[in-house]
Amino acid sequence: MKSICLLLVMTLPFFTMAQNSPSKDSAAYYRCELAKLWHKYRDSMLRSEEYASLNAKLNNLPVDKRKYVSFNMFADVVHNDYSKFNQSITAAGFTELEPISFRFGCGITVKSKRNIHDIGFFSVGLKNQAQRGNETIKSFFSNVMQYDYGFDLLQSNAVSIYPYAGLSIRASMLRYEQPMQINPGTTNISDLVIPNGSAYLSSTKIGYQAGLGIDVTVSNFNNSRGSVILFAKGGTNGPIGRERYKTNDSDITYNYDIRHADWMITFGIKFAGRD
């Protein structure tokens, strides 16, 4: 019996290998053989003198540094005019909303000689809040799908200075919140919680932006086919038409005389590539 068990243990790997090896009549077998053939000829091509010569000629071609496509990451310092809104909320006992807020975002740039096309996928604003005890008023301001056209005044390989203008979708939000309160005289679950009266209002408009930008190339790599570019932009960002706020449950609009981004400064980095 022991001899039989030992024989089974010794032959088990051979059965396993036979099951794992693809049959010569199977699709898996031919895919495996094609993959081996592809790797063989690819390695042969990469080691050939002809490939090395063509690759060297490609890398030695002159590169126009004024053309590139880049992925961008940036941060905004935004000034907001809350003067009239702050007068109304401080009269009710709240602290003031700070005029300076911050945002972050990302996008791409396509540059061709003097023409600079900036596309911002999103710029998300961090909350700015005022308080009265446990109650808060929060303000947010963001942009999505922002397009700016700039015109390079210098046509330099290292520095670009450009006026720009464009359009975007802008979203402004106001939120009033107070903590949930428990009714001490509750008689059943329906009156356990005292309604907290929180409110959420928003305004979505087509916006415009305009200002002046500067790009500075700080690093080149891969024979100048890649670059790291630092940039800054300063200008204004406003709504087309009057900005009015409304809740999701009502068509009534409210005008709070808030002016988001009457001026703003953007700092960012571009990771650029060229053909």
Listed by start position, the domains of the chain span 25-61, 67-273
For residue 244, what are the contacts with CB-CB under 8 A and spacing of at least 6?
A: 203, 253, 254, 255
**What per-residue confidence (pLDDT) applies to 11?**
52
Give the DSSP letter of residue 15. H
| CA distances from residue 25 to 29, 30, 35 in whole angstroms, order as listed | 7, 8, 16
How does DSSP assign 29-52, residue by residue?
Answer: HHHHHHHHHHHHHHHHHHTSHHHH
Tens of pLDDT, residue by residue, the chain (275 residues): 444 454 444 555 544 544 555 566 678 888 888 888 888 888 888 888 888 888 777 777 767 777 899 999 999 999 999 999 999 999 999 999 999 999 999 999 999 989 999 999 999 998 899 999 988 999 999 999 999 999 999 988 889 999 999 999 999 999 998 877 776 777 776 666 666 678 888 999 999 999 999 999 999 887 778 899 999 999 999 999 888 888 877 777 788 889 999 999 999 999 998 87
* DSSP three-state, residue 134: coil
Query: What is the Cα–Cα distance from 144 to 169, expressed in whole angstroms?
Result: 5
Token representation of residue 164: 């720009």
**What per-residue confidence (pLDDT) applies to 192?**
64
pTM listed for this prediction: 0.73
CA dihedral for 28, 29, 32, 34, sign (positive or negative): negative
**What per-residue confidence (pLDDT) applies to 170?**
94
What kind of fold does domain 67-273 have according to CATH? Answer: Porin (2.40.160)
Of 262, 236, 256, residue with least CA distance to 84: 256
Token representation of residue 41: 């000829």
Token representation of residue 259: 């002016």
Token representation of residue 210: 């305009």
Query: What is the Cα–Cα distance from 262 to 78, expressed in whole angstroms?
Result: 8
Query: What is the Cα–Cα distance from 145 to 253, expressed in whole angstroms?
Result: 25
